[in-house]
């Protein structure tokens, strides 16, 4: 933590799957974020079907005594989970920990870099 940057924990959130390989993608993403970003702490959590749950992930973040917790949805669309569910978790933890600033980052959505990724994957399929 520096004077200019509050101590920040990040919780990467995915839907969760019955397939462990799918859940492992979020773990790999968290490792990459840890290597490239300057956040003080990075955790993962799943909305359903896998552990840790979002409350468990938020508790792990809170345990690091951050000034700020960013909840990052690893979702393509702003469906009910992103718009309502994550906001409910954010609101609940903000009420329980008023000393910490909790925020939900934007979902992945139709970002210009997403077009590049889709085109790259299509190119891979063509060979």
The domain spanning residue 41 has which CATH number?
3.40.50.1400
What is the span of the domain harbouring residue 42? 8-126
Residue 127 pLDDT grade (very low, low, confident, very high; cuts 50, 70, 90): confident
The residue annotated as part of the active site, out of 15, 81, 97, 111, is: 15
3 in a structural domain:
no
Is residue 41 domain-resident? Answer: yes
Q: How many structural domains is the chain composed of?
A: 1
**Binning pLDDT at 50, 70 and 90, where does residue 3 land?**
low
pLDDT over threshold 60, residue 42: yes
Which contiguous run of DSSP H or E holds residue 13? Answer: strand 8-14
Q: Examine the residue annotation and report whether 111 is marked as an active-site residue of this protein.
A: no
Whether residue 2 lies inside any domain: the answer is no
Entry pTM:
0.92
Task: Give Cβ neighbours of residue 13 (< 8 Å, ≥ 6 apart).
Answer: 44, 45, 46, 47, 54, 57, 71, 72, 73, 74, 75, 86
Alpha helix locations (H) across 2-84? 20-36, 54-62, 80
Decide if 1 is inside a domain.
no
DSSP structure class, residue 111: -
In a domain, 22, yes or no: yes
Residue 2 in this model has a pLDDT that exceeds 60: no
Q: Specify if 112 maps to a domain.
A: yes
């Amino acid at each position: 933590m520096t004077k200019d940057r509050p101590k920040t924990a990040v919780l990467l959130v995915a839907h969760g799957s019955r397939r462990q390989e799918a859940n492992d993608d979020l773990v790999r993403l968290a490792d990459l974020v840890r290597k490239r970003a300057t956040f003080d702490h990075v955790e993962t959590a799943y909305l359903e079907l896998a552990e840790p749950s979002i409350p468990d992930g938020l508790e792990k973040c809170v345990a690091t005594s951050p000034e700020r917790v960013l909840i990052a949805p690893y979702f393509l669309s702003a469906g009910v989970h992103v718009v309502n569910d994550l906001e409910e978790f954010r609101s609940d933890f903000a009420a329980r920990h008023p000393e910490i600033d909790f925020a939900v980052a934007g979902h992945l959505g139709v970002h210009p870099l997403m077009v590049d990724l889709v085109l790259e994957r299509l190119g891979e399929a063509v060979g």
